Structure 1
Amino acid sequence: MKKKILLVLMTLTVVLTYSCKKLDVPVESQFVASNFPKTLSDYNASVGAIYSNLSSNFAVPYWRMQELATDEAILPARDGNFDDGGQYRQLHYHTWTSDHPNVTTIWQWAYSGIMTCNRLINITNSFGFTPADKTAKLAEIRGMRALYYFFLMDLYGNVPIITDYPVTGIPATQPRAKVFQFIESELLSIEQQLPAKTNVVASNVLQYGRPTKGMVFALLSKIYLNAAVYTNVPRYPDAVAMADSVMANTNYGLDARYRDIFLPNNGPQIRETIFAIPYDQQIPGNQFTRFGFFYYLVNAYGFNVGLSIAMSTTPEFYNRFNLPGDFRTTTWLSGPQFAPDGNGGFTTQPIYYPNTTTQVVINPVLTLVPPKPMDLGNTLASQSEGVRSIKYYPDPAIIQATRLNGNDVPVLRLADVMLMKAEAILRGAQPTVVNGEMQTPLLLVNRVRARSGAQLATSIDLNGMLDERARELSWEGWRRNDLIRFGQFEVEYPLPNDVLSMDKSTFRRLYPVPTTELKLNGSLIQNPGY
Structure 2
Amino acid sequence: MKTIKIKSIVILLTVLMFSITGCDNDLDEIVYSTITEQTYNYSSSDFAPNIVGAYAPIYENDVFGRWQTQELTGCCIALPANVTGWDDGGIYKKLMFHNWNSESMQVGQLWTKNYRGIVLCNSAIDRLENDIIPAPSPQEKELAIAELRALRAYYYWMICDNFGDGPLVITTSQELTEKSSRQEIYDFIVNELEEVVPNLSEVQGAELYGRINKWAGKTILANVYLNSEVYTGTAKWNECIEQCNDIINSGKCALAPIFKDPFLTAGAESSKEVLFTIPYDYDRGIVGNFLFMNSWHSELQKKYNTVYPPNAAGGPKGVTQFIDTYQEGDSRLEDSWLMGPQFDADGNQLYGIYDLPGEPLVFSKDLPDGKYTNEMEGYRMGKYEVPMGSQWSADSDIPLLRYAEVLMMKAECLLRTGQSGAGELVTQVRQRAFKDDPSKATVTDEELMEDSSFDWGLVENYEITDQGDQTPVQFGRMFDEWNWEFAWEGYTRRNMIRFGVYTTKSWLSHEPNGDYRAVFPIPESVITSNPKLVQNSNY
Q: Same fold (TM over 0.5)?
A: yes
Aligned residue number for residue 2 of structure 2: 2
Identity %: 27
Q: What is the rounded CA distance, in whole Å, between the counterparts of 2:160 and 2:105 in structure 1?
A: 19
> Is contact 1:254-1:414 (8 Å) kept?
yes
Q: What is the rounded CA distance, in whole Å, between the counterparts of 1:354 and 1:383 in structure 2?
A: 7
- Match of 1:398, SS state, is coil
Q: What is the rounded CA distance, in whole Å, between the counterparts of 1:153 and 1:518 in structure 2?
A: 17
Aligned residue number for residue 262 of structure 2: 261
- Match of 2:322, SS state, is helix
Aligned residue number for residue 161 of structure 1: 168
Amino acid at match of 2:19: T
For 1:288-303, list aligned pairs within 5 A.
288-303=291-306
**Residue deviations 1:365-416 (CA, integer Å, cap 9, x gap):** 2225xxxx9222xxxxx100011121012233332xxx11101111111101
In terms of mean alpha carbon deviation, does 505-514 or 188-197 score higher?
188-197
Aligned residue number for residue 16 of structure 1: 18
Q: What is the rounded CA distance, in whole Å, between the counterparts of 1:151 and 1:10 in structure 2?
A: 23
Q: 1:504 aligns with which of 509, 513, 520?
A: 513
- Match of 1:258, SS state, is coil
> Is contact 2:302-2:344 (8 Å) kept?
no
Pair 35,312 (structure 1): closer, same or farther in 2 beyond 3 Å? same
Q: What is the rounded CA distance, in whole Å, between the counterparts of 1:327 and 1:340 in structure 2?
A: 23
Pair 428,353 (structure 1): closer, same or farther in 2 beyond 3 Å? same
Pair 11,429 (structure 1): closer, same or farther in 2 beyond 3 Å? farther
Cα drift, residue 57 of structure 1: 3.8
For 1:72-111, list aligned pairs within 5 A.
72-79=76-83, 81-111=85-115
> Is contact 2:225-2:236 (8 Å) kept?
yes
- Match of 2:269, SS state, is coil
Q: What is the rounded CA distance, in whole Å, between the counterparts of 1:11 and 1:367 in structure 2?
A: 45
Whether 1:147 and 2:121 are equivalent positions in the alignment is no
Cα drift, residue 108 of structure 1: 1.3
> Is contact 1:266-1:408 (8 Å) kept?
no
Q: What is the rounded CA distance, in whole Å, between the counterparts of 2:88 and 2:494 in structure 1?
A: 25
Amino acid at match of 2:409: M
Q: 2:51 aligns with which of 25, 28, 47?
A: 47
Q: What is the rounded CA distance, in whole Å, between the counterparts of 1:177 and 1:528 in structure 2?
A: 16
Q: What is the rounded CA distance, in whole Å, between the counterparts of 2:232 and 2:429 in structure 1?
A: 30
Cα drift, residue 283 of structure 1: 1.1
Pair 357,32 (structure 1): closer, same or farther in 2 beyond 3 Å? closer
Cα drift, residue 340 of structure 1: 8.3
> Is contact 1:316-1:493 (8 Å) kept?
no
Q: 1:408 aligns with which of 397, 403, 408?
A: 397
Q: 1:386 aligns with which of 378, 389, 394?
A: 378
- Match of 1:89, SS state, is helix
Question: What's the TM-score, normalizing by structure 1?
Answer: 0.86
Q: What is the rounded CA distance, in whole Å, between the counterparts of 1:299 and 1:22 in structure 2?
A: 45
Whether 1:479 and 2:479 are equivalent positions in the alignment is no
Whether 1:133 and 2:140 are equivalent positions in the alignment is yes
In terms of mean alpha carbon deviation, does 228-237 or 292-301 score higher?
292-301
Q: What is the rounded CA distance, in whole Å, between the counterparts of 2:37 and 2:330 in structure 1?
A: 62
In terms of mean alpha carbon deviation, does 15-24 or 458-467 score higher?
15-24
Q: What is the rounded CA distance, in whole Å, between the counterparts of 2:416 and 2:405 in structure 1?
A: 16
Whether 1:449 and 2:430 are equivalent positions in the alignment is yes
Amino acid at match of 2:501: Q
Q: What is the rounded CA distance, in whole Å, between the counterparts of 2:161 and 2:427 in structure 1?
A: 29
Aligned residue number for residue 372 of structure 2: 375
> Is contact 2:338-2:380 (8 Å) kept?
yes
Q: 2:329 aligns with which of 324, 328, 333?
A: 324
Q: What is the rounded CA distance, in whole Å, between the counterparts of 2:236 and 2:328 in structure 1?
A: 32
Q: What is the rounded CA distance, in whole Å, between the counterparts of 1:32 and 1:472 in structure 2?
A: 46
Pair 451,232 (structure 1): closer, same or farther in 2 beyond 3 Å? same
Amino acid at match of 2:525: T
Q: What is the rounded CA distance, in whole Å, between the counterparts of 1:263 and 1:217 in structure 2?
A: 25
Q: 1:527 aligns with which of 495, 516, 536?
A: 536
- Match of 1:276, SS state, is strand
Q: What is the rounded CA distance, in whole Å, between the counterparts of 1:275 and 1:105 in structure 2?
A: 21
Aligned residue number for residue 246 of structure 2: 245
Cα drift, residue 267 of structure 1: 2.7
Aligned residue number for residue 235 of structure 1: 236
Aligned residue number for residue 466 of structure 1: 479
Superposed CA RMSD in Å reads 2.6
For 1:202-213, list aligned pairs within 5 A.
204-213=205-214
> Is contact 1:209-1:278 (8 Å) kept?
yes
Pair 444,351 (structure 1): closer, same or farther in 2 beyond 3 Å? farther
Aligned residue number for residue 397 of structure 1: 389
Aligned residue number for residue 379 of structure 1: none
Cα drift, residue 7 of structure 1: 2.7
Q: What is the rounded CA distance, in whole Å, between the counterparts of 1:58 and 1:422 in structure 2?
A: 29
Cα drift, residue 26 of structure 1: 11
- Match of 1:383, SS state, is coil
**Residue deviations 1:89-142 (CA, integer Å, cap 9, x gap):** 000000000000111122111111111111111111213333212111101111
Pair 331,275 (structure 1): closer, same or farther in 2 beyond 3 Å? same
Q: What is the rounded CA distance, in whole Å, between the counterparts of 2:66 and 2:515 in structure 1?
A: 20
Aligned residue number for residue 435 of structure 1: none
**Residue deviations 1:293-330 (CA, integer Å, cap 9, x gap):** 23333322343522121211110111122232434433
> Is contact 1:350-1:359 (8 Å) kept?
no
- Match of 1:299, SS state, is helix
Q: What is the rounded CA distance, in whole Å, between the counterparts of 1:252 and 1:11 in structure 2?
A: 31
Cα drift, residue 192 of structure 1: 1.9
Cα drift, residue 339 of structure 1: 6.9
- Match of 2:396, SS state, is coil
Query: For this pair of structures, how many residues does the alignment match?
Result: 491
Q: In structure 1, list runs of 5 or more residues that go unmatched.
A: 199-203, 342-348, 377-381, 432-439
- Match of 1:197, SS state, is coil
Q: What is the rounded CA distance, in whole Å, between the counterparts of 1:449 and 1:7 in structure 2?
A: 38
> Is contact 1:293-1:390 (8 Å) kept?
no
> Is contact 2:352-2:360 (8 Å) kept?
no
Aligned residue number for residue 189 of structure 1: 195
Aligned residue number for residue 69 of structure 1: 73
Q: What is the rounded CA distance, in whole Å, between the counterparts of 1:322 and 1:2 in structure 2?
A: 36
Q: What is the rounded CA distance, in whole Å, between the counterparts of 1:523 and 1:340 in structure 2?
A: 58
Pair 335,397 (structure 1): closer, same or farther in 2 beyond 3 Å? closer
Cα drift, residue 471 of structure 1: 0.5
Pair 166,25 (structure 1): closer, same or farther in 2 beyond 3 Å? farther
Q: In structure 2, list runs of 5 or more residues that go unmatched.
A: 30-34, 450-474
Q: What is the rounded CA distance, in whole Å, between the counterparts of 2:332 and 2:288 in structure 1?
A: 27
> Is contact 2:21-2:120 (8 Å) kept?
no
Greater relative contact order (Cα < 8 A, sep 6+): 1
Q: What is the rounded CA distance, in whole Å, between the counterparts of 1:304 and 1:22 in structure 2?
A: 38
